[in-house]
A and B are shown apart, each in its own frame.
Chain A
Amino acid sequence: MTDLGASSISNNGSTAGRPRVVALAVTPRRRKNVLYMLDEVVRSGGVAVLITADGGRGDKPAAGVIHIDLLADERRWGPNRLLTADPRRIAAALTRRPRPKGASPVWRRWVASRPYRAVRYWVLWRVARRRPDLLRPDQVSHVLVVGIESWPIAWHLLRASPEASIGFSVPPELLGSVAVQA
C-alpha cells in the first residue's frame, strides 16, 4: 500500500479500538526489522503505519500496512521546490532531447549537505503533518523508532497522543501473546 506521489493510500476501514503502531523508518536503517514487526502488528489485528522518506526503495511492507513515503512531498516543501527544479529537464524539453533521469544535481548536493541533514528530519515532520487523515497523530498507541532521525516526528506524535508508548520494538501487549523484538 504505497503512494509515492502524494505518498499514501488511505485506509478507509474502521480502526477504532485497534492498537495503532506508527513506525518512523525514514532512512533504510533497520528497515527489515521494522517491516517484520509491522507485519506482526497487522496479523494480530492492529493498525500499522510505516513512514519512510526514500521514495519507496528497498523492501516493501506487507499487505495491510499503511505506507506513507514523504520524499515527494519533501521535495515540494517550501524552499526545496526551487532546488528540485532541474534546468537540464527544461533544456531537454526545449531541445526535444530525452529527459535526464534522477533528481536535480543541486537537490542531490543540497540533500547530502551537512546543513540540510541537520534540519531534514524536522522538515519531514512539517511534511508528514499535512497528512492527518493517514497519520492520525491523536490515535497512536505506539511509536516505533529506529534512531535519532525518528525523533522529530516521534516528539510531535507523543504530544498528540500522550498515552502512547515509544521504543525500538513493539510491546508484546500490543500483539496479544506474540512478542516481537527488533
Chain B
Amino acid sequence: MTTRRKHVLLLGMQFPPARGSGVYRLRAWAHHLVNQGYDVTVLCTSRDYWLQLAGSLDDELAARTDPRVRLVEVEIPHEHLIQDVRQMSWLHASFPKAFLEMHGLIQSKLFPEVYAPLIPVYTLAALKVHTRHRVDMVLASGNPYSLFGVAWILGKLLRRPYVVDYHDPWTLDVLKEVDAFEPGHPAFTWERRIVEGAARVTTVNEPLCDWYRQRYPKAAGRVRLVPLGLAEDIVTEPTFSPVPKERPLRFGFMGTVRHDLPMEEFLEGWLIALRDPVMQGATMQFYGYLGFFARHEEQIGRRITDGLTPGVSYEGPVSQTMITDVFGHLDALVMLLPSSRYMTAGKGFDYMAAGRPVVGVHDPRNDTTSLFADYPLFFGATSVSPEAIAEAIVAAGRAARGETDEQFRVCRAEALKHTWDVAMAPVAGEFAEIIDG
C-alpha cells in the first residue's frame, strides 16, 4: 500500500524569473519542501507582469528551479498599479479619479491593500489546482498581504490548515517602529483574523516574532522564527587569493540599490576613508538593479554615477547566479541597509558567503548585526555617520590586505551555518503534524 504524498500549495507573487528580494524565500520554501517529500505547487504572478513592472527578468535563476516544483503563473489585474500614462487603458486614462476611487472602494470593502484585486484571481487559481490535485496545506508568503487573505479564504473553503510567512510585517512600520496604519484601520482587523486562524505564523527575526506574540496573544504559541538564509546552490564558494601589496583595494556592494539606503552618508564616509594610506586608489563598485521599479532607476542612479566621488562606479545588475564570480574579484564588501531593529537583510548571508571582510553601513540596531555576531571579519559602523562609516571602511580595508586563506575558510564556514535549509527545517518539520491535524 502506498501513501499519497502531501501536497503543499505555496502562494507568492514573486518567483523566479521575477527578480525582487522576495523571490529567494519563496524559492527556498519550494525547494525545501520538495526535498522533504512534499508535492509542491507554487502560484505566482506571471512573468509578463514582472517584465512590465521591473523591466527585466532573471531567467538564469529561473532555470535553476527544481523541476519537481510545479509552477502555475497567474495573470493578475494590475491596471490600477500602472503609472505610465502610455500603458494605461482608455478607461483608466480617461477617468482617473473615478478609476482610483473604484479601487479605493474595492480596498475598503474587500481587503485593505492595493493588491486586493488579486484575491479572487488567486483564489480561483488555487481552487482549480485543488480540483486536480488535492491540496493538504496552504503556505502564503507576503507581502503582498492580499495573499494572506487568499490563504484565509482557502482555509475556510477547503478546510485545510494554512501558514502565513511574513518576510515584511504588514501593520508595523519597520523603519519608524510604530503602527503602519491609523487606529481602527481595517488592516488590523484582517491581520488579527488571518493570524489567529493560521496554523503557523512565521517571520524573519526574533524582534518580529516577539512583536507578533505580544500583538496576537491567542496565536503566540504558533509564531515561529524562520530566518532568511543562504542559497548555497546559487552563491557557491568564490575564488580566494590574498590581495597583492601594490594593487589598490576593491570594495563592492551587491544588491538592489534602494532609495532608502544611507547612500549620502556612505559616500561622505568613503571620501574620508580615502585619506587613509591603506585606501590609496581603492575602488567601490555597485552591482545590482537601481531600485525595484524601472521608473526609479534614473533618480537612484544619479546618486552613484555623478562622478563626484573618486573610485565609485556603478557596474549594473548581476544575475543571482553570477554573484559568486563577482565576489571572487572583490576584496571587501560594503553592506548598506536601512536602519531598523525589525529589519534583517537576506543579502547579509550572500555577503558572508564571500568570505571577505564586510562593512556594515546601517544602524547597529538593525537585526542584521546579530547575524554577523560570529562572523570574524565584520566591521559594523558604530553609527550611520560619515566618520563612523569611514572608520569601518578603513578597518575592513586593513583586514582585507591581511586576510589569509585560513580566515577565508572560517568566514565561509560561518556562512554555511545559515543556509535556507537550516533556517526552514524546524518549522517545516511541524508541517506533517499540522496536515494530519
Contacts and interface: CB of A to CB of B under 8 A. Distances in A.
Contacts of A148: 96-97, 100
Contacts of B98: 118-119
Given A145-B85, A151-B85, A118 B94 contact: no
Interface in B88-140: 88, 90, 93-98, 100-101
B86 A152 contact: no
The secondary-structure label for the interface of chain A is helix
The secondary-structure label for the interface of chain B is helix
- Interface size class of chain B, counting residues whose CB lies under 8 Å from the partner chain: 10 to 19
Interface residues of A, number: 15
B95 A119 contact: yes
Given A158-B86, A166-B85, A152 B94 contact: yes
Given A145-B85, A158-B85, A158-B86, A152 B97 contact: no
B86 A151 contact: no
A118 B86 contact: no
A155 B100 contact: no
Interface string A112-138: 000001110110010000000000000
Contacts of A151: 85, 88, 93-94, 96
A154 interface: yes
A175 B355 CA distance: 50
A109 B101 CA distance: 21
Given A118-B101, A148-B100, A155 B95 contact: no
A117 B97 contact: yes
Contacts of B95: 118-119, 121-122, 152
A151 B89 CA distance: 11
A122 B95 CA distance: 6
A166 B83 CA distance: 12
Contacts of A121: 94-97
Interface in A142-156: 145, 148-149, 151-152, 154-155
List of 3 A-B pairs having minimum Cβ-Cβ separation, nearest first: A155-B93, A118-B98, A148-B96
Interface of A: 117-119, 121-122, 125, 145, 148-149, 151-152, 154-155, 158, 166
Given A118-B101, A158-B85, 11 more contacts: A117-B97, A121-B95, A148-B96, A148-B97, A151-B85, A151-B88, A152-B96, A155-B85, A155-B90, A155-B93, A166-B86
